[in-house]
Amino acid sequence: MANTSQFCTFYLDKLLFGVELKGVQEVIRSLDMTKVPLAPGVVSGLINLRGQIVTAVDLRRRLELEPRTAGMLAMNVVVRSDDGAVSLLVDEIGDVVEVAEDTFEPPPETLRGSVRTIILGVHKLNDRLMHVLDIEKACQMTDVAETAAAGR
Amino acid sequence: MNEGDSEIVKDFLVESYENLDRLDRDLVGLEKNPKDKEALAGVFRTIHTIKGTCGFLGFNKLEKVAHVGENLLTRLRDGQLTLNPERTTALLGMVDAVRQMLKEIQSTGQDGEVDYPDLRERLTRLQTPAAGDAGSAPAAAVLLPPPGPVESKLESRLESKPAEKLETPAPPQEKDSVPAAVEAALPQVVPAAESRKKGDDSKRKPTRGKIGGVLVDSGAVKAEDISLALQEQEKGDARRIGEILVGSGAAKHDDILAAQQVLDAKLRDTPQETIRVGINVLDKLMTLVGELVLARNQLLQISNTVEDASLQAVSQRMNLIATELQGEVMKTRMQPIGNIWGQFPRTVRDVALGCGKEVNIEMEGKETELDKTIIEAIKDPLTHLVRNSVDHGIELPEDRAKAGKDRTGRLILRAFHEGGQVNIEITDDGAGLNVDRIRKKALERAVITSEQAARMSEREIFNLIFLPGFSTAEKVTNVSGRGVGMDVVKTNVEKIGGTVDVQSALGKGTTVRVKIPLTLAIIPALVVTCGGDRYAIPQVSLLELVRLEADEVAKGIELVHGAPVHRLRGRLLPLIYLSRELKLAADVRPAAETDGAVNIVVLQADDRQFGLAVDQINDTEEIVVKPLRKQLKTVKTFAGSSIMGDGKVALILDVLGLAQRASVVSETRDRALTAKATESAAKTDKQTFLLFAGPGDSRMAIPLSALARLEEFPVAQVEMSGSQWVTQYRGQILTLIRLNVVMEERRNRLRALQAPPTADSGPIQVLVLQHEGRSFGLVVDKILDIVEDRADVKSAATRASVLYSVLIGDRVTELLDIPAILRGADLNATQPGLAARSAEVAN
pLDDT in tens, B267-312: 555 445 677 788 788 878 887 887 788 788 888 888 888 888 888 8
ipTM above 0.85, yes or no: no
Convert B25-53 to b/e letters by CB count within 10 Å (16 or more is b).
bbbbbbbeebebbebbbbbbbbbbbbbbb
> pLDDT tens-digit profile of B520-530?
667 888 999 88
Question: Looking at residues B649-665, what average pLDDT do you find?
Answer: 81
Give the number of other CB atoms < 10 A from CB of residue B558: 13
| pLDDT band per the 50, 70, 90 thresholds, residue B497 | confident
Q: Are strands B649-653 and B533-538 parallel, antiparallel or unpaired?
A: parallel
Cross-chain Cβ contact B641/A35 below 8 Å: no
Of B116-120, B292-296, B636-640, B821-825, least confident by mean pLDDT is B821-825
* pLDDT-above-90 percentage for chain A: 20
For residue B398, pLDDT beyond 60? yes
Mean pLDDT of A69-74: 80
CA distances from B176 to A52, B158, B187, B189, B652 (A): 56, 26, 20, 16, 56
Do A53 and B651 make contact, defined as CB atoms within 8 angstroms?
Answer: no
Q: What's the confidence (pLDDT) of residue B264?
A: 66
Cα Rg of chain B, angstroms: 38
What was the pLDDT predicted at B180? 42
- The beta-strand segments (E) located in B255-358 are 334-336
Tell which residue, B386, B380, B382, has the closest CA to residue B345. B386
Distances (CA, A) of B499 to B262, B517, B605: 53, 10, 10
CA distance B581 to chain A (A): 9
Would the pLDDT of A22 be above 50?
yes
Q: With beta carbons under 8 A apart, name residues in chain B contacting A83.
A: 629-631
Instruction: Say how far apart CA B773 and CA B777 lie, in whole Å.
Output: 13
In angstroms, what separates the C-alpha of B468 from chain A's closest C-alpha? Answer: 25
Contacts of B406 (CB under 8 A, 6+ apart): B400
Is B485's pLDDT higher than 70? no
With an 8 Å Cβ cutoff, is A37 touching chain B?
A: yes
pLDDT of residue B691: 83
CB-based contact (8 Å) between A48 and chain B? yes
Q: Is pLDDT above 90 for A78?
A: yes
Confidence of residue A11 (pLDDT cuts 50, 70, 90): very high
Would you say the C-alpha torsion B348, B349, B353, B358 has a positive or negative sign?
positive
Whole-angstrom Cα distance, residue B75 to residue B748?
A: 98
In chain A the domains, ranked by start, together with CATH numbers, are 4-151 (2.40.50.180)
Q: What is the mean pLDDT of residues B721-740?
A: 78
Cβ-based neighbours of B299, under 8 Å, separated by 6 or more: B315, B318, B319
Q: Return the bridge partners of A45, or none.
A: A56
Tell if the CB–CB gap between B643 and A57 is shorter than 8 Å: no
Is the pLDDT confidence value at B1 over 50? no
pLDDT cut 70: percent of chain B above it: 72
pLDDT by residue (tens digit) across B137-169? Answer: 333 333 444 444 433 434 444 444 444 444 434
For residue B94, pLDDT over 60 is answered with yes
Domain ranges of chain B: 1-132, 154-275, 279-335, 340-517, 522-669, 684-842
Q: For an interface test with A, which of B612, B629, B633, B637 has the most A Cβ atoms less than 10 Å from its Cβ?
A: B629
| Cross-chain residue pair A43–B649, CB shorter than 8 Å | no
Contact A43 B632 (CB under 8 A): yes
User: Domain B340-517 belongs to what topology?
Assistant: Heat Shock Protein 90 (3.30.565)
Whether the CA torsion B95, B101, B104, B108 is positive or negative: it is negative
What was the pLDDT predicted at A132?
Answer: 92
Tell me which amino acid residue B563 is. Answer: A
Max CA separation in chain B (angstroms): 130
By C-alpha distance, the chain A residue nearest B630 is A83
pLDDT digits (tens, 9 = 90+) for B30-72: 777 777 777 777 777 778 777 777 777 777 778 888 888 888 8
| Contacts B582 to A, Cβ<8 Å | 37-38
Q: May I ask the CATH class of domain B1-132?
A: mainly alpha
In this structure, which CATH number among 1.10.287, 3.30.160, 1.10.3470, 1.10.1200 belongs to the domain B279-335?
Answer: 1.10.287
B223 against B320, higher pLDDT: B320
- Coil/strand/helix, residue B206: coil
A39·B291 Cβ contact <8 A: no
Q: Where on the phi/psi map is residue B561: left (φ > 0), alpha (ψ -120 to 50), or beta?
A: left
Rounded CA-CA distance B179/B305 in Å is: 59
pLDDT of A10 above 90: yes
Task: Note whether A36 contacts B: Cβ–Cβ < 8 A.
Answer: yes
Residue B585: closest CA among chain A residues belongs to which residue? Answer: A37
Alpha-carbon distance of B18 to B58, in angstroms, equals 21
Q: Tell if the CB–CB gap between A83 and B631 is shorter than 8 Å.
A: yes
Q: Provide the shortest C-alpha distance from residue B280 to chain A (in Å).
A: 19
Q: Which of A30-34, B211-215, B793-797 has the highest mean pLDDT?
A: A30-34
* Burial environment of residue B543 by CB neighbours within 10 A (0 to 12, 13 to 18, 19 or more): middle
Kindly write down the DSSP assignment for every residue of B40-86, as one continuous string: HHHHHHHHHHHHHHHHHHT-HHHHHHHHHHHHHHHHHHTTSS---HH
Express as a percent the part of chain B with pLDDT over 90.
2
Mean pLDDT of the residues in chain B:
73
- B632–A36: do the CB atoms touch at under 8 Å? yes
Q: Give me the pLDDT at residue B592, please.
A: 47
Alpha carbon distances (Å) from B442 to B438, B450, B710: 6, 9, 19
Residues 6+ positions from B712 with CB-CB distance below 8 Å: B763, B764, B765, B766
Q: Is the pLDDT of residue B580 over 50?
A: yes
- Provide the number of CB pairs (under 8 Å) joining chain A to chain B: 64
pLDDT tens-digit series, residues B336-393: 888 888 888 888 888 888 888 888 888 998 888 888 878 888 888 888 888 888 888 8
Which long-range contacts does B702-706 make (Cβ < 8 Å, 24+ apart)? B702/B767, B702/B769, B702/B815, B702/B816, B702/B818, B703/B815, B704/B455, B704/B675, B704/B786, B705/B672, B706/B769, B706/B770, B706/B771, B706/B818
Q: Does A43 touch chain B (CB under 8 A)?
A: yes
Instruction: Give B213's pLDDT tier (boundaries 50, 70, 90).
Output: low
Mean pLDDT of B700-712: 78
HSE (side-chain half, CA atoms, 13 Å) at B319: 17
CATH: 2.40.50.180, 2.60.40.1180, 3.40.50.1980, 3.40.50.300. Which one for B684-842?
2.40.50.180
- Report whether pLDDT(B682) > 60: no
Give me the DSSP letters along B124-153: HHTTS--TTS-TT--S---SSPPSSPPPS-
Q: What is the DSSP pairing of strand B571-577 with strand B774-780? A: unpaired
Q: Could you give the 3-state DSSP secondary structure of residue A103?
A: helix
Within an 8 Å CB–CB cutoff, is residue A57 touching chain B?
Answer: yes
Residues in B touching A49 (Cβ below 8 Å):
none
pLDDT on residue B131 = 52
Look up the CATH number of domain B522-669. Answer: 2.40.50.180
- Chain A residue with minimum CA distance to B637: A38
By CB neighbour count within 10 A (0-12 exposed, 13-18 middle, 19+ buried), where does B642 fall? buried
| Residues in A touching B649 (Cβ below 8 Å) | 33-34, 45-48, 53
Instruction: Please indicate whether the domains covering B522-669 and B684-842 agree at the CATH topology level.
Output: yes
